[in-house]
Each structure stands twice: as C-alpha cells, then as structure tokens.
Amino acid sequence: MVFAHDTEASLLAAVELVNTAVEPDTLTTQEQVDAFFARHGYTGARTRDAAELAAVRALRAPLRRLLTSDRDTAVELVNETLAAHQAVPRLVRHDGLDYHIHVVHPDTPFADRIAAETAMAMIDVIRSDEMSRLSVCADDTCDGLVLDLSRNRSRRYCSTTCGNRVAVAAYRARKR
C-alpha cells in the first residue's frame, strides 16, 4: 500500500469522478451518482436531487485541475479547498473500517465532501512527493486520469480498454 486506506480511497474516487467527464459522459443521472456514492463507501447526508447531481458534475473540472497540477499549484489548491469547506479533521470509525479521517460534517453537501476529502488525500500525495502517481492516460486519444498505485509505477492507462486499444494498434502497425 502506497498511502493510507482513506487516502487511496479518496484518490480512486476523485480519479473515477474526473474520468466520468471523458467522452462519453457517464455521470448524467442520479442513479449514477448513487452508484458512485455506494461504490466508494461515502457516508453522510444526500439530497438526491438535480442540484446535487449538478454540484457533483461541476466538481469534475476543479478536481482534474488539482490532480494534474504541479506540486506547488496543488498546495495552493488544497489550501484553498480546505479553507473554503472549513475542513476540521477528525478521526472516525464506521462500517467495519478502522479509524480514518473525515474532514467535514456528515450533513455537508455531497460534492463538498468529495472536494474536501480529495484535498486531504492530496496532502499525503504532496507531503510524500508522489505527484508522479497521477497522470493523464498514455493513449493519445484519451484524456482520462491515471492513479498509479503499483509498486513499480507501471500503470500508464486509465483503463484496460485504453491499454488494449493501444496494444492492438501497435500490433496492427507491426503487421503492416
């Protein structure tokens, strides 16, 4: 494990959320937000309305900027995000998980919780000087983000689909 469990979980969720904006958009319904919420083990209040869907969708561009920025810019963005959301870290234990950090109240809007938890996760990335673990997909036709949590830092593609597409294209080029 490169980072603490809650850091990895927040980073994985943030990368998945940003990648929903890569064509085709895969975050257009409340059901998709519900699935994202459940898949990443988020807790707290939800409104499950159009405003929540819009707020979560609007978060994708700022998160992309944070996750793809250089280290010094990331520090500025993290500090701004934590201040904007009045983050107050506290240790909690729930749902079979041992103590981990929550930074906003459970009644905070879902999009704000995502932003604050991603900012907290980025603190670990920045402090350990591991910004290189975040990159853009090596497939020239894709703008997806990649979170490389492998030991040997070998992950280059946002998905198996992109990796396979590049491999097939290279194979076909060699056969020509």
Residue 168 half-sphere exposure toward CB, CA atoms < 13 A = 6
> Residue 25: inside a domain, yes or no?
yes
The predicted model scores a pTM of 0.92
Give the pLDDT score at 176: 85
CATH of the domain at 87: 1.10.3300.10
pLDDT tens-place string over residues 4-59 = 999 999 999 999 999 999 989 999 999 999 999 999 999 999 999 999 999 999 99
In degrees, rounded to 5, the angle at the alpha carbon of residue 31 between the alpha carbons of residues 65 and 122 is: 25
Domain count, the chain: 1
pLDDT tens-place string over residues 131-166 = 999 999 999 999 999 999 999 999 999 999 999 999
> Residue 132: inside a domain, yes or no?
yes
Its domain, for residue 81, covers 5-136+143-149
Task: Decide: helix, strand or coil at residue 114.
Answer: helix
Contact indicator for 33, 57 with CB cutoff of 8 Å: no
